[in-house]
Amino acid sequence: MNNGSAPVWYALRKLAQRKVRLGALLPLLWRWRIEIILGLGVLFRVAQYLADRPLWMDEGSIALNIERRPFSELFSELTATQLAPPGFLFVEWVAVRALGENSLALRLFPLVGGIAAVFLFYCVSLRVLRAQAELIAVGLFAVSDDLIYFASEVKQYETDVAAGLLCSLMALELASRPASVARLCAFGVAGATVLWFSHPSAFVLAGTGTVLIASALARREWRRAHLLALMSLLWAASFAGVYAVSLELLGHKRDMWNFWSFAFPPIPPSSLWDATWMLRRFLYLFINPLDFLTPLGPTLSALAAASLFLAGSASMARRDKRTFWMLVAPGLFALLAAYLQLYPFHGRLVLFLVPSLLLLIAEGTACVGEAAGSRTLWALLLGFLFLFSTLGAFYHLAQPRQRYGLNRYGDNRPTAPDPPRFPF
Residue 23 belongs to some domain of the structure: no
DSSP per position, 215-227:
HHHHTT-HHHHHH
Q: What is the mean pLDDT of residues 364-390?
A: 93
For the packed helices 22-31 and 33-50, what is the interaxial angle rounded to 10 degrees? 80
pLDDT at 251: 85
Evaluate if residue 424 carries a pLDDT over 90: no
pLDDT the model gives residue 18: 52
DSSP string, 44-90: HHHHHHHT-PPP-HHHHHHHHHHHT--GGGTTSPPSTT----HHHHH
Q: Is 296 helix (H, G, I), strand (E, B) or coil?
A: coil
Rounded CA-CA distance 147/54 in Å is 19
Mean pLDDT over all residues of the chain? 89
Q: First vs last Cα of the chain: how many Å apart?
A: 66
> pLDDT tens digits, residue range 134-178?
999 999 999 999 999 999 999 999 999 999 999 999 999 999 887
Q: Is the pLDDT of residue 264 over 70?
A: yes
**What is the spatial distance between Cα 213 and Cα 196, in angstroms, rounded to a whole number?**
23
**Does 169 map to a domain?**
yes
* pLDDT at 379 exceeding the cut of 50: yes
Positive or negative torsion for Cα 62, 67, 68, 73: positive
Q: pLDDT above 70 covers what percent of the chain?
A: 89
Question: How many folded domains does the chain comprise?
Answer: 1
**Across residues 338-350, what is the average pLDDT?**
95
In a domain, 10, yes or no: no
Position 342 in a domain: yes
Cα–Cα distance for residue pair 121/132, rounded to 1 Å: 15
Q: Report, as an integer, the average pLDDT of 337-362.
A: 96
403 located within any domain: no
Domain that holds residue 236: 33-398
Rg (CA), the chain: 24
Highest mean predicted confidence (pLDDT) among 176-180, 242-246, 418-422: 242-246
Residue 2 lies in a domain: no
What pLDDT was estimated at residue 293? 87
Q: pTM for the complete prediction?
A: 0.90
d(CA 96, CA 194): 22
Residues ≥6 apart with Cβ < 8 Å to 51: 152, 400, 401
Q: What is the pLDDT of residues 96-140, one digit of tens each?
A: 999 999 999 999 999 999 999 999 999 999 999 988 899 999 999
Q: Does 28 fall in a domain?
A: no
**281 located within any domain:** yes
| pLDDT-derived band at 399, boundaries 50, 70, 90 | very high
Q: How far from 175 is each of 23, 130, 202, 224, 228, CA to CA, in Å?
A: 43, 18, 19, 11, 11
